[in-house]
Amino acid sequence: MQGGGRTGARPALAAALVLGVAALLVVVLRTPWDVLPAPAGGRTVPDPTAGLDADQVARAEAFAAALRPASLLSLLLGLVVSALLGLTRLGSGLLRAVGDRVGGRWWAQVLLGVPALLLAGRLVTLPVSAYAEVVRHRYGLSTRSWGLWLRDVVVSLAISAALTALVVLAVLWLIRRAPRTWWAWSGVAAVGLVVVGSFLYPVVIEPAFNRFESLPAGELRSDVFALAEENGTPVRDVLVSDASRRTTALNAYVSGFGSTRRVVLYDTLLDRLPDEEIESIVAHELGHVATDDVLTGTLMGALGAGAATALAGWLLSWGPLLRRAGADSPGDPRVVPLVLFLVTVGGLVGTPVQNVVSRQIEARADVQALDLTRDPEAFIAMQRRLASTNLGDPDPPTAWHWFFGSHPTVAQRIAMAEDWQRLEDQR
């Protein structure tokens, strides 16, 4: 590495290592690795069909087989485009071309260049996204009109372009103001941004895509509130989103923490599932609430973001890498495509780590749901219904599941519910 002392490369690397180890420690210590003891006689071996009939399994597998190549291609294309823009002078050329139209000031290059770079990347992956939407339509999973699809693409891109442009602008400003210590300030800001972002997400970003209403008064609502009370996690409200505008899929989730925390049910659940199955779903979400899983995930993400920023501070002090991107110094706006490439690589590396943790947290929420409802039959019926409606492959390829799987497989979730019942029987 060149120019270490002058640009603060060594402290950046040291901070990246310390924060990286800290993030790893938090992941190792805070992830619930063992959520249910093995019953006498050993754990149930997951049934790869998850108890679905042969037609349902075949349909889910065909759907997955049609989508997996598209997901991989999209990932690969995104990486290649980002590398082409960030590791050659293509990206800095594009940045200057748009920036020069407005006078070529550094901040104008950033504010216009970032959206232009993200747009270029999105246009390349757009045909793949459209193909995936065709597949979802063909299998009856998407109810989105093409107008709404396009609107979603544009709104997502606009939000990410605006936020990314502002963040990159702030980083460049810091680099120019504090060339030696910018990465430390940016690291602190990254930690803060992840926390604030996760807190505000349900009130700022989610309403850009969905409308939310309170779960209507009735037996289900009173049962859900009673369940929350029993769980020791009383809720002010349970929301229903208008998911059916886009999909027939069944789902629910928790987002936010503190005063923005909410349990959201897809409206697709309401007419099609018996109450006890909806209660199993809500109980799983209440499990997340009980252990404050959104906050745990946010804090792990924040530490990871801090470590990644320090690492970027080290990498951006490396002359040959900067010159490859056509930049003279880290404060040169032509560095932006390289920064976006590093973010893409960071996201890719972070995905499997995030999913390893997520699968364990989801398994714990399943156990909490079973402890709360004490109704493994409804839980298993719900898992099967979700798998058959959402066309979830009950037993995806191991490598795929390791990288992309945010939840245990349906086969594993059902096997765990059976183990929960066996443990009860052995008591």
Which token pair is 173?
Answer: 């400003």
Going by their DSSP bridges, the two strands 252-255 and 262-266 should be labelled as antiparallel
Q: Which is nearer to Zn ion, 362 or 393 (CB)?
A: 362
Place of tokens 């049934």: 47
N- to C-terminal Cα separation, the chain: 62
Beta carbon of residue 410, minimum distance to Zn ion (angstroms, whole number) = 13
Beta carbon of residue 383, minimum distance to Zn ion (angstroms, whole number) = 12
Q: Which is nearer to Zn ion, 279 or 362 (CB)?
A: 362
Q: Which stretch binds Zn ion (CB under 5 A): 69-77, 317-325, 362-370, 408-416?
A: 362-370
Q: Which stretch binds Zn ion (CB under 5 A): 45-53, 88-96, 224-232, 354-362?
A: 354-362
Q: Which stretch binds Zn ion (CB under 5 A): 18-26, 130-138, 260-268, 365-373?
A: 365-373
What's the gap between Cα 415 and its chain centre? 26
What's the gap between Cα 47 and its chain centre? 28
Q: Which is nearer to Zn ion, 106 or 266 (CB)?
A: 266
Q: Which is nearer to Zn ion, 33 or 146 (CB)?
A: 33
Contact string (CB under 5 A) for Zn ion, positions 228-267, x = contact? ----------------------------------------
Q: Which is nearer to Zn ion, 143 or 251 (CB)?
A: 251
Which token pair is 201?
Answer: 């997400």
Q: 261 with 294: CB under 8 angstroms? A: yes
Beta carbon of residue 272, minimum distance to Zn ion (angstroms, whole number) = 20
What's the gap between Cα 190 and its chain centre? 17
SS3 letters across 265-320:
EEHHHHHHCCHHHHHHHHHHHHHHHHCCHHHHHHHHHHHHHHHHHHHHHHHCCCHH
Q: Which stretch binds Zn ion (CB under 5 A): 37-45, 92-100, 357-365, 373-381?
A: 357-365
Taking the alpha carbons of 403, 406, 408, 414 in that order, is the dihedral positive or negative? Answer: negative
Q: CA–CA separation, 123 vs 128, rounded Å?
A: 10
Beta carbon of residue 293, minimum distance to Zn ion (angstroms, whole number) = 8
Q: Which is nearer to Zn ion, 239 or 365 (CB)?
A: 365
Q: Which is nearer to Zn ion, 384 or 422 (CB)?
A: 384
Q: Which is nearer to Zn ion, 165 or 410 (CB)?
A: 410
Contact string (CB under 5 A) for Zn ion, positions 310-349, x = contact? ----------------------------------------
Neighbour count for residue 262 (Cβ, 10 Å): 21
Site for Zn ion in 12-51 (CB under 5 A): none
Which token pair is 362?
Answer: 């989801």
Q: Which stretch binds Zn ion (CB under 5 A): 177-185, 320-328, 346-354, 359-367?
A: 359-367
Taking the alpha carbons of 335, 336, 338, 342 in that order, is the dihedral positive or negative? Answer: positive
Interface residue list for Zn ion (CB under 5 A): 362, 365
